[in-house]
Structure 1
């Protein structure tokens, strides 16, 4: 029955990845078309009237539900990495939507993300003891870490939102979602193993922290959409999210088994580095990034011809309000 549950979890995770891919592309294109500058509450209210954005929200909700169902049948280590499928699908959909030609370096970056992330998780599976019970102390440690993380990231976003780039939002959302996935898995395990009512053993503090992190992570994702292509956003999430989940399981929850040796640890580090390099390459050589850079260069040359100061050079993580045509 355990093998059947794992394969069912894999199927649900694949469906979740497809929903997340299409939903991400829909929302990302809607935000990019309407949001110029740091995201405000009024921008979200305006997006609520956009059918494309609402459709993306529904698909993201469906994908999240399918992912939760998958986490109820298998571990985070098995479920979360399958989300990398969303990267490939989102890239293809976004290229078609924007009529972009996917260049070789973009494909190479996607390969690095997929191969590095896949190798990292494959190594983690052999290093994890799935039969290990999670102590209350370990769960409380994860909750405290998440509360501190939400406070720090939320404060940084509120205080420095005019100077933060897309990289901050992508990394922040990936880390937050990694914590959320772990707490969802722990909560489902408590519900399934409860000897009394289904919610008797639920840690409601953990649930509250996970909800707060999910809301903040959702805001970060929308902010990242305003500053970069959706496939770049999903690349960061699908690489960082599972890595955070696996590392929490191994280092905090005590799920490390006999297979976690020094060699395995070094190989996991190397694989994770490859995946992160893939995200960095994608942020520099994505066709939409190159297109924006070329547009800025053309505007700079035109400004010089007119005798006015040229715009500053582009940066991969330039805040959305620094882009040409933006307004406060």
Structure 2
């Protein structure tokens, strides 16, 4: 299905590239049939190997038509001109894209002098955090692949079917690769920077859906992608290393332990409210908000605990702590934080899926992203004492980066949020009327009972 101009000739190579040629109506010869001219046999694979679109196919087709002419010198010049124009058009697009990316990356560095404070490991960690969103694409591919497969179990025949499916296999590979990139990012990048980057995985998802699934995106979607991508770049260029002179590892562990102890009753309170809302047949917007808050809180707190445990085992943390018995206690606390982070992260799909049963996926995902981002920033800056840019311009860019990512997530779901607020406003305007009507009915029934009380006593 690489060429839309099919040749009716029975020996044409197009018949091998499209199985639907037999059901199509005969069309004019496309000029790519090798039986017309011996000179075309070497050029027939160009449009199939070069996936440049209609422009490339038209250029090659017109080139082959030119070769049939008698003036070989003129045809050769026309071939060179067409090939040069094609390469120039494609090269200019690639050059423009590279120029835009380099400008967005290096302009904040030059304006803020952040290249003097930033380090290569932190930039590498930011890139790992962005690539960790490959797991979202992997989950989508796995969902597509299991549609024609039986339910997964430990039987050999079923496992062979899953492994033999290329879509499911590629999805599993991307999912595992994203998880590895995420763990690598948590060991390098501060959680206040890594968590916002984790939340804008819609950039890779949108690009994948546009280029691979051929889905059309509107202006609002592209605006959201641009905002999130710009915020990610600003976060990457404003990374600064930790100042160990103002860091107390023991105090960080104490604060993190207190936050973990407070997170448990907070999750329990949200669970009680969610159950009451479900039993009382409350509006589904309340259930969506509570489910998104529960899942987002689990992600933010879990990633903070996991990042602290992984970073605590690094050489810089152990060197700052010194030698002695405190090192073993420090490593024991790091292991406990890793276990708590894994368990807390594993709880967020439970709360999210319970909300998906009664609520809308888009709103729950939006609440989850916003709450997890806010929780991650709070945990990193306040609890873990992560480094904040000291220079005013870099600090301003860090705030702008958070605002861009926050705005990008909101812009992507703005249509649903606007419909939700309009519905909530209409319901709130009807509530006073219903209450006044109920109060009038209650007063009327009370008056009727008072009027009928003497007759009731007389009859008694």
Please report how far the alpha carbon of residue 140 of structure 1 lies from its aligned counterpart in structure 2 after TM superposition: 1.6
Deviation per residue, 1:48-76 (Å, 9 max, x gap): 89968897577445423331122223432
Pick from 216, 219, 236: which aligns with 1:104?
A: 219
How is 1:60-99 mapped onto 2 (pairs within 5 angstroms)?
Answer: 60-83=175-198, 86-94=201-209
Residues 151 and 209 of structure 1: CA distance in aligned 2, closer, same or farther (over 3 Å)? farther
Residues 314 and 101 of structure 1: CA distance in aligned 2, closer, same or farther (over 3 Å)? same
Please report how far the alpha carbon of residue 253 of structure 1 lies from its aligned counterpart in structure 2 after TM superposition: 2.6
Q: Take 1:314 and 1:129, find their aligned partners in 2: how far apart are those partners?
A: 44
The equivalent residue for 2:409 is: 279
1:23 aligns with 2:138: yes
Q: Take 1:317 and 1:85, find their aligned partners in 2: how far apart are those partners?
A: 26
Maintained 8 Å contact 2:267/2:294: no
Pick from 361, 366, 369: which aligns with 1:228?
A: 361
- Indicate the SS of the match to 1:202: helix
Q: Take 1:183 and 1:278, find their aligned partners in 2: how far apart are those partners?
A: 27
Q: Take 1:29 and 1:317, find their aligned partners in 2: how far apart are those partners?
A: 35
1:140 aligns with 2:273: no
Deviation per residue, 1:124-168 (Å, 9 max, x gap): x46x84533432322222322332343234444555457355455
Residues 116 and 73 of structure 1: CA distance in aligned 2, closer, same or farther (over 3 Å)? closer
How is 1:139-178 mapped onto 2 (pairs within 5 angstroms)?
Answer: 139-160=256-277, 163=284, 164=286, 166=288, 168-178=290-300
Q: Take 1:147 and 1:271, find their aligned partners in 2: how far apart are those partners?
A: 31
Maintained 8 Å contact 1:109/1:282: yes
> Which of the pair has more CA radius of gyration?
2
Q: Take 1:229 and 1:47, find their aligned partners in 2: how far apart are those partners?
A: 27
- Indicate the SS of the match to 1:250: helix
How is 1:174-193 mapped onto 2 (pairs within 5 angstroms)?
Answer: 174-192=296-314, 193=317
Greater relative CO, 1 or 2 (CA 8 Å, sep 6+): 1
Q: Which segments of 5 or more consecutive residues in structure 1 lack a partner in the other structure?
A: 34-45, 291-312, 319-328
Residues 266 and 167 of structure 1: CA distance in aligned 2, closer, same or farther (over 3 Å)? farther
- Indicate the SS of the match to 1:255: coil
Pick from 222, 241, 249: which aligns with 2:380?
A: 249
Deviation per residue, 1:265-321 (Å, 9 max, x gap): 787666544433332332234xxx79xxxxxxxxxxxxxxxxxxxxxx964899xxx
TM-score (norm 1): 0.61
- Indicate the SS of the match to 2:413: helix
Q: Take 1:16 and 1:111, find their aligned partners in 2: how far apart are those partners?
A: 19
